[in-house]
Structure 1
């Protein structure tokens, strides 16, 4: 199979890099481009197999969305009229196939608008994109909100004459979406649901706006050069109001993520670290600006979600969330988190003792480490004990060589060919799916190649895993193709699996090449990567387990949020819970984004991915068996997309149910637990 991949051209296109200065930037996977469409008026003019982003404007995005959303809604109404007049004989030819055709151009324009927005907010301002996004989302949900389509789906599910698991999954998807959209409610219930949803949207907006203001409100100015003596060049440029004069004061610290964590890692002044830490964790609390308090909104969001869940027939919002999760139940998630904690908690205790001993030997004079001390001393310990240095490592990862090694790995594992087509020539063969990966890597300087930090290499592998899942899908309907219809806690699995390959020496040798000498990454540097992966792994995992449990409890219990925090914190964290720490009041991932009662999904996907990768690890050194496992992975996780439940996909690949053992082993926590 020949796979056309033109992402390299996009990666190096400086014009579409975002104007803001940031160290790592962000990555966008664009699976929404979809299949080629016959509409000659499509705004997605193509060259080399990808959209010509340079020729797309806000105006034609708006115009296209305006027409396409109206066409889509009219098409849904037409389907409704047809199946309302007579019984639906074949729901797939009469409903789902027309919906596929209706949605292709809408999804393409929507995805392209999203790419412009995330790639360059000057070309696509937030207000412009959000109007497009909300309009497209409202149109698309009309197919799930249609009573006639819902009745036809339920009728088909009841007659039992379903030809394949793919068809069953599509029917189940529409059934669940219809239920969650209130199609089973009476007229009074629908009015109540609308009221709850309206209130929820209002409270989430208020929460988001206040946290955005609180985040922008804080800044700390550094004028002392000794404080920034270890700061990387990129960080100094990001802090300086005059990037061309970044070696001279002042330097402005903010709470933006790409500023906050690097400063915490490199700042030697404990008082400054405390100042920015307390500013971060007290956002939205009574400790700060009273006009920006979010605790009331937090409780209203919880209450509204609980009301919605009860109205739709669920005991809690967390249980309702499980309708679209691989885990399937809150109790199963809690059991898994508890199992992981058994190894993570004692490891955290030993790690903090070791880190405190290290810090004390280098002048730290306090009785215990606090949360604002950890990033700084963790980095110091990694550098001292493992000789880990980001800037040294990046010299071994030129972008071109990393891509070449990544492509070779995929070609061997999945029996595909990846090549750059320039120019792109249309043939009779139709490209089934297209994907654009957009990265904000440092551009080449003069004659020097673009060099990637190891975190950027990880990001590239991670997002390429998503791309493979999209490009190698073998389903017949886009409703269940690629990443569509995959349960939330399973979406990140393929990305994490690709990340595991970076700790395989053969793969590292294939992607590393010193930009001057051509040498592969030395053995001691590879060992440093392995050591850093395990360093403070117990503490990191405990933090994620705590946030996952906090999220589930906030969406299961009626207790006040602070009481929940006080109850859970000591079970997971070996730090004092300070009075000023009101982190739930700025927990935007679960209150303003889409991770409410789903934050655990990150850990769950990592656990499944580690177990999947362990199948490759078990046969390492045997090329034929590795190829066989690669084929099995392609035929299951990459080919099936959302056409089968991920539990079944996992069983087809692994021959059993998942286990957390592989994740603990990959983090070095199983041996830590046993040793203790």
Structure 2
């Protein structure tokens, strides 16, 4: 995921004030390198060109990465020698780099696939060793001054470039600038020292949060408390791994904490668990876990980094890699959404309070009460229970229907290939065919089931798409990826049954993978998901999930596992209501975190003062004085989402606007298949080879607007001048 910046100003035709006012030049940065390409054929590939997973060991992966990394760095030095006086950078530099990448990326992709698919074969420590070595090697080309200057010179030549060539050059140029290649002397040394210190502080932050998360636990012995718990939650909490036998252990791991807060009827237990969650790393308990000092150090170092690179703030630097292009554009969108969401939150909480009071709850709702009563109210209003609805979503039916939908919309065929080596017997391999070709254009692995102690479990992120190998015309390489999930495995003769949320995760990850699999770019550096702006990276996944709210689609993918009876019509009709349930409250939470992230990275105000200032603007419930949630906000401080948390919402806004084109076609004269072809030819085919704002215009004929997202969430659209 990386980015470039829009070249033309984008002025919305549908809003009083424009959402975009972009003035930057195009560019790119790699913050997490893509996983992809090809590797040492002698040790890791079988005769069919796919990884020899049945014969891969940690030792082979580490040995291959070590060998290939040294060869890669040596190859970059050779290419640097020809960069000084090259006449055609594409032929003399970038095509050789594409070939060089081919030797490293598949091993890296295999390692990550094993890490997420079977961590007993690839433990965290071993994967991190491989990841860090491969990352260091691959970064060498983006830290090369001769290659950087060659890209600048090529761009300055008076010759016409294709969109893809322009994006490739911009990627190397912006990556070089953000790596400080045009910073000289003492400043360069200071930048290197600063980046090293920043990496160290981020690791400290991550480790402290992990330890603090694991340090909390609470035991339940009363069977009445877990009476309404879904079986998978009760089993995960049981110290005996038996849903019906206690005691049951509460932890702050997301896959326990989030559903526990929704299902636990005991308010004291909810309060205690919530306090443990929001006070992590606050220092109110164990001072060794405190991260406030680390957080402020990270903010300070990031500001220094931005200043050295010529930016006013870290947010300004971040915007170089975002579709939005400027903090003003982001604020315009966030504020527009807040105008609709905040008043609705007040109404929703009043209604929820009345609902709880009518059922014997005689207190004012607090933060730890909302998830529980929110779930109860949703069930009462719409007879909707995530766990009960599973019977209508057997995995084989859902996956076949998903493939059929993609076949219809995008003119592709997805066919299982047998006798392919995988990392587990449950894993299947599929070839993707274009309707116009008899040969596969891509392939992917599909690993659906949770396996205790083998897979990483994250409740709000139940699946991963791994780009094992990018498309590359220079090396005649086809895209290859893996989809890995944690769905319930078949048991007692039943097929794997999915909750509606899990169906959404499956559709989202598969929609995301289509951008990788169906790319038509020639250079792997800008193919598929590579070089896509961060705030546009999740768009295609979200577009696919919108189909679940189309009555015809949901009827097609559902069918009772024993009777094949489709999902009852009243539930189909209620799916939209469920999506809109307390949408103002939920959206305000995301808007608050997005704004907090941006202000933490653009102001010097102490973090707690920023929280107190922002909180009442986004939240109807009062702020709890012990709430220290930023101190465990790993996404922005130890992961890669600093000054980028808003990207999740931005992608949802763009996706809703894209899908509205399908809805308009359904209601008007345009053929919906034509919209599908146009979507494939723009978003899916182009990938990172063209700026997403331009891709959006080619698909939609205008600039994006948040109105479709507000409509989907049932939130009122503010009246604005056309």
Both proteins in one fold, TM over 0.5: yes
Q: Note if contact 1:344-1:673 (Cα within 8 Å) is conserved in structure 2.
A: no
Residues in 1 aligned to 2:269 and 2:386: alpha-carbon distance in whole angstroms: 24
Alignment match, 2:190? 192
SS of residue in 1 equivalent to 2:641:
coil
Cα deviation code 1:602-641 (max 9, x no counterpart): 0000000000000001112679610111111001000000
Give the Å deviation of 1:415: 1.2
* Deviates most, 307-316 or 282-291: 282-291
- Is the Cα–Cα contact under 8 Å of residues 44 and 109 in structure 1 kept in the other structure? no
Report the CA distance shift for 1:134/1:205 in structure 2 as closer, same or farther (over 3 A): same
Residue 604 (structure 1) aligned to one of 650, 667, 676: 650
Does residue 83 of structure 2 align to residue 54 of structure 1?
Answer: no
Q: 446-455 vs 329-338, which deviates more?
A: 446-455
Cα deviation per residue 1:394-424 (whole Å; 9 max; x = unaligned)?
A: 1111111111111111111111122223357
| Pair 1:464-2:465 in alignment | no
RMSD across aligned C-alpha pairs, in angstroms? 1.9
Q: Are residue 286 (structure 1) and residue 332 (structure 2) matched?
A: no
Match of 1:76 in 2: 76
Residue 102 of structure 2 is aligned to residue 104 of structure 1: yes
Q: Following the alignment from structure 1 to structure 2, what is the Cα–Cα distance between the partners of residues 579 and 392?
A: 38
What residue in structure 2 maps to residue 400 of structure 1? Answer: 396
| Cα distance between partner residues in 1 of 2:630 and 2:577 | 32
- 1:392 Cα offset (Å): 2.6
Distance in 2, Cα, partners of 1:302 & 1:671: 36
Distance change in 2, residues 1:624/1:226 (3 Å): same
Q: Unpaired segments of 5 or more residues in structure 2?
A: 1-32, 421-429, 432-437, 443-477
Q: Within 5 A, what are the aligned runs for 1:232-243?
A: 232-243=230-241
1:523-553: per-residue Cα shift (whole Å, max 9, x none)?
A: 1111232111000110010000000000000
Are the counterparts in 2 of residues 386 and 528 from structure 1 also a CA contact under 8 Å?
yes
Structure 1 equivalent of residue 352 of structure 2: 355
Distance 2:670 2:47 in 1: 39
Instruction: Indicate if the aligned counterparts of 1:325 and 1:487 stay in contact, CA closer than 8 A.
Output: yes
* 1:569 correspondence with 2:615: yes
- State the match for 1:45 in structure 2: 46
Deviating more after overlay: 153-162 vs 280-289: 153-162
Name whichever of 91-100 and 615-624 sits farther off. Answer: 615-624
Which is further off, 440-449 or 497-506? 440-449
Secondary structure of 1:105 counterpart: coil
Answering whether residue 320 of structure 2 is matched by residue 329 of structure 1, we say no
Cross-structure match for 2:629: 583
CA contact (8 A) 2:37 2:109 kept: no
Q: For residue 430 of structure 1, report the CA deviation from its aligned partner.
A: 6.8
1:224 paired residue number: 222
Greater shift after overlay, 445-454 or 266-275?
Answer: 445-454
Q: How does 1:211-610 map to 2 (within 5 A)?
A: 211-244=209-242, 246-366=243-363, 368-423=364-419, 431=442, 432-610=478-656
Relative to structure 1, the CA distance from residue 632 to residue 464 in structure 2 (aligned partners, 3 Å threshold; closer, same or farther) is same
| Helix, strand or coil at the partner of 2:418 | coil
SS in 1 for 2:487: coil
Tell me: CA distance 1:143–1:162, structure 2 relative to 1, closer, same or farther (3 Å): farther
**Closer, same or farther in 2 for the Cα pair 1:382/1:475, shift >3 Å?**
same
Report if the CA contact (8 A) 2:202-2:637 is conserved.
Answer: yes
User: How many angstroms apart in 2 are the aligned matches of 1:229 and 1:525?
Assistant: 25
Q: Secondary structure at the match of 1:384?
A: helix
CA–CA distance in 2 between the matches of 1:656 and 1:509? Answer: 33
The range that moved more, 516-525 or 590-599, is 516-525
- The Cα shift of 1:45 comes to 2.7
| Alpha-carbon spacing, 1:671–1:520, altered in 2? closer, same or farther (3 Å) | farther
Per the alignment, residue 6 of structure 1 pairs with: none
Q: Is there any run of 5+ residues in structure 1 with no aligned partner, and where?
A: 1-29
Secondary structure at the residue paired with 1:495?
A: helix
Higher helix content, 1 or 2: 1
Q: How many pairs are equivalent? A: 638
Cα 1:261–1:281, aligned 2, differ >3 Å: closer, same or farther?
same
Q: Displacement, 1:31?
A: 7.6
Contact between 2:579 and 2:713, CA under 8 Å: does it hold in 1?
yes
CA distance in 1, matches of 2:439, 2:341: 55
* Matching residue of 2:685: 639
Secondary structure at 2:68's aligned position in 1? helix
Match of 1:639, SS state, is helix
SS in 2 for 1:437: strand
The Cα offsets for residues 471-526 of structure 1, whole Å up to 9 and x where unpaired, read as 11000100000000000000000000001000001111111111111111111111
Deviations 1:550-608 (A, max 9, x none): 00000000111111111110100111111110111111100000000000000000000
How far the C-alpha of 1:451 sits from its partner, in A, is 1.2
C-alpha separation in 2, matches of 1:240 and 1:44: 42
Aligned equivalents of 2:47, 2:372: Cα separation in 1: 48
Report the secondary structure of 2:407's partner residue: helix
Distance 1:524 1:576 in 2: 37
Deviations 1:642-670 (A, max 9, x none): 01111101011111110000000001012
Asked whether the equivalents of residues 95 and 149 of structure 1 are also in contact (C-alpha less than 8 Å), the reply is yes
Q: Normalising by structure 1, report the TM-score.
A: 0.92
After alignment, is 226-235 or 418-427 more displaced? 418-427
Deviations 1:42-72 (A, max 9, x none): 513366x753433211011001101111111
Q: Tell me the distance in 2 between the aligned counterparts of 1:428 and 1:420.
A: 14
Of 600-609 and 151-160, deviating more is 151-160
